[in-house]
């Protein structure tokens, strides 16, 4: 079988963008498919013939995006490889069009995988959305991005961030400082998303005037939350009673996103996790969405996807 890929009618400039600076993009493709990929003049040689077709399709999708004057990053190449592996690369252009927010630096935020697109679609449609999947699938960042979009456009008045204070056997009472100082270490991923979307200075102002509220899950009891976007992160560490309490706080013109990874439960008794219980009890309610993400939706280093697959096996 021929192992050489010939891309017709490609200019020198396009070829340089296609392979990346110092062949960076070719290296990403090599690592992903675990085969050697070499540029020889204007042709690309693939060491393992079994991967030639998929790699050619990856390069074609990349070239289409380049010709649309879309900039490509290393992470984009991984997303394209994931889609090609599922024979769904035709969806890549559609994913880029589904912009849900813009970062402070002006970059568009859009779903990178089919699972992420389902998550975004459900956030647009439903008031309660469960997003269940492994680390690196974008659960926290996408929910924070959409929350900031709604806030900036005055669809809501407040963002509330919460999570169970469970981590390696500690609880809030053992930690120094006031409530905010006790909770902050648990909410770093949420802060990262907020800072990228709004900037650290604006986030601090919003926290000071109560537009962004950060509190441990236990402090949600007894409240009704109107005109708000409420994110419960690390929900796998909440008990069934806590998740029921949280869900019943929903007020008018509010949305709730519940993010969790059932493979990373930190509770002493893992069977006390309420996330799986919620899925069993609530999955048949039409207005509640459950989005199940997998290693195919990981948007970190490709090695993370392989690690997750290994542990699942």
Query: For the segment 59-106, what is each residue's pLDDT rounded down to a tens digit?
Result: 999 999 999 877 788 888 988 998 999 899 988 888 888 999 999 988
- Asked if the model's pLDDT at residue 254 lies above 70, the reply is yes
pLDDT digits (tens, 9 = 90+) for 121-154: 999 999 999 999 988 899 999 999 999 999 999 9
The confidence score (pLDDT) of residue 179 equals: 59
Q: Mean pLDDT across the stretch 282-288?
A: 93
Residue 122 to residue 130: CA distance in whole angstroms: 9
Domain boundaries, the chain: 4-97, 101-312
Residue 242 to residue 171: CA distance in whole angstroms: 15
DSSP annotation of 184: G
DSSP annotation of 229: E
The confidence score (pLDDT) of residue 111 equals: 93
The confidence score (pLDDT) of residue 169 equals: 44
- pTM reported for the whole predicted model: 0.83
pLDDT digits (tens, 9 = 90+) for 220-231: 888 889 999 999
Torsion, Cα of 129, 130, 133, 135 (10° steps): 80
- Answer CATH for 101-312 from 3.90.78.10, 3.40.50.300, 3.90.1150.10, 2.170.150.20: 3.40.50.300
Q: Which residues contact 282 (CB under 8 A, 6 or more apart)?
A: 130, 288, 290
Residue 248 to residue 128: CA distance in whole angstroms: 11
pLDDT digits (tens, 9 = 90+) for 163-180: 887 654 445 455 555 656
Residue 292 to residue 119: CA distance in whole angstroms: 9
- Cα dihedral 81, 83, 87, 88 sign: negative
């Amino acid at each position: 079988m021929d192992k050489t890929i010939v891309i017709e009618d490609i200019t020198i400039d396009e070829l340089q963008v296609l392979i990346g600076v110092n062949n960076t993009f070719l290296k990403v493709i090599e690592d992903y498919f675990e085969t050697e990929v070499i540029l020889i003049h204007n042709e690309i040689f693939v060491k393992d013939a079994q991967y030639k077709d998929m790699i050619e399709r990856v390069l074609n999708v990349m070239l289409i995006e380049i010709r649309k004057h879309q900039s490509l990053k290393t992470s984009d190449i991984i997303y394209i490889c994931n889609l090609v592996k599922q024979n769904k690369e035709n969806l890549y252009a559609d994913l880029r069009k589904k912009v849900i927010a813009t970062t402070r630096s002006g970059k568009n935020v859009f779903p990178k995988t089919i699972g992420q697109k389902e998550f975004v679609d459900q956030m647009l449609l439903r008031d309660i959305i469960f997003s269940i999947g492994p680390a690196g699938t974008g659960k926290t960042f996408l929910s924070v991005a959409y929350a900031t979009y709604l806030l900036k456009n005055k669809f809501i008045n407040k963002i509330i961030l919460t999570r169970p204070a469970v981590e390696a056997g500690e609880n809030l009472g053992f930690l120094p400082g006031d409530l905010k100082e006790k909770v902050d270490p648990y909410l770093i991923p949420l802060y990262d998303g907020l800072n990228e979307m709004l900037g650290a200075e604006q986030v601090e102002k919003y926290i000071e005037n109560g537009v962004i509220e950060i509190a441990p899950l236990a402090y949600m009891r007894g409240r009704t939350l109107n005109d708000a976007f409420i994110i419960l992160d690390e929900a796998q560490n909440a008990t069934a009673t806590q998740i029921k309490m949280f869900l019943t706080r929903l007020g008018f013109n509010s949305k709730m996103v519940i993010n969790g990874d059932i493979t990373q439960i930190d509770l002493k008794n893992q069977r006390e996790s309420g996330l799986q219980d919620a899925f069993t009890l609530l999955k048949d309610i039409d207005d509640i969405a459950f989005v199940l993400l997998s290693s195919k939706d990981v948007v970190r280093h490709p090695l993370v996807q392989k690690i997750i697959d290994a542990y699942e096996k």
